[in-house]
């Protein structure tokens, strides 16, 4: 699957909180979003409306993708709330999404 196909899937599955997202797909989308955000930020020259629109529009698809990635590791989707714990929670969530995919196809 090409990067363009993955990115298209990111937006078309923006409200799909079921299923799974493989580790390589997750990190490819994260990289593309970071690069696209940097480019949009530089194009504005101090006026951030396009960048802000992109950032806000990416929130729900990003959360959906992260929930699918958490489920792919074999954990329940509620683990996303670990990020609400200051500092430690963000590191813990990073540890979860870095982890390998689970062998079973747990859907929950």
Residue where the block lists tokens 């714990």:
85
pLDDT digits (tens, 9 = 90+) for 43-56: 766 566 788 888 89
**What is this structure's pTM?**
0.82
Q: How do residues 15-29 score in pLDDT, each as one tens digit?
A: 989 989 999 999 999
Q: What is the DSSP letter of 101?
A: P
State the burial class of residue 36 (Cβ atoms within 10 Å of its Cβ: 0-12, 13-18, 19+): middle
Give the residue extent of every domain in the chain.
Answer: 3-98
The 8-class DSSP code of residue 84 comes to: G
19 half-sphere exposure, CB direction, 13 A CA radius: 11
């Amino acid at each position: 699957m090409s990067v363009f196909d993955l990115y298209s899937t990111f937006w078309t599955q923006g409200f799909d909180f079921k299923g799974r997202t493989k580790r390589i797909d997750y990190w490819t989308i994260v990289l593309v979003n970071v690069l696209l955000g940097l480019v949009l930020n530089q194009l504005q020259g101090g006026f951030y409306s396009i960048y802000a629109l992109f950032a806000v529009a990416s929130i729900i698809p990003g959360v959906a993708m992260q929930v699918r990635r958490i489920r792919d590791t074999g954990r329940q989707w509620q683990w996303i709330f670990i990020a609400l714990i200051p500092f430690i929670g963000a590191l813990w969530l990073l540890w979860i999404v870095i982890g390998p995919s689970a062998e079973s196809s747990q859907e929950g």
